[in-house]
Amino acid sequence: MFADLSPLKLAALATLAFLLLGPEKLPGAIRDGMALLRAVREFSGRTQERIRSEWGPEFADFEFGDMNPRTLLRRHIQTGDPDPLGLDEIRTALDPRPDVARAAATAREAVGGAAARPPAHDHPPARGRPAEASPAPPFDPDTT
């Protein structure tokens, strides 16, 4: 939290506090600030313990600092895990190809010998065009 505070910044904050509060109020303000910090830490600790107890024993070793995105990324980059979030499992579960292949195999079995026949045209040819149109000759830019 205070990792980016250099000694120069701390000295500047102490000087500013001394100038704003004066020598009479500064010790009381430091005492109040420390009491507030202690109360926040105690509240945070109690809240974490309550959450752990409500979640059950499988989350007993859960660290709330792990929820910080920087910590999460740092840990997974350092471990070298190619799929740290388990996305491959999700992709496999959502992939429709195995289901489509199973459905196609079932349809082939149901149709039986019909799969060996050539496919029939589902729609008639367009008007004014022969049923078997010859392919257009390739474009040759030298002849134009």
> What is the rounded average pLDDT of the residues 26-32?
91
| DSSP secondary structure letters along 89-127 | HHHHHH--HHHHHHHHHHHHHHHGGGGGSPPPPSSPPPT
Name the pTM for this structure: 0.41
| CB-neighbour burial class of residue 57 (10 A; exposed 0-12, middle 13-18, buried 19+) | exposed
Express each pLDDT in 75-101 by its tens digit.
767 666 666 667 788 888 889 999 999
Which one, of 81, 76, 80, lies nearest residue 66 by Cα?
76
Least confident of 26-30, 49-53, 66-70: 66-70
Helices (H) and strands (E) in the chain, counts: 4, 0
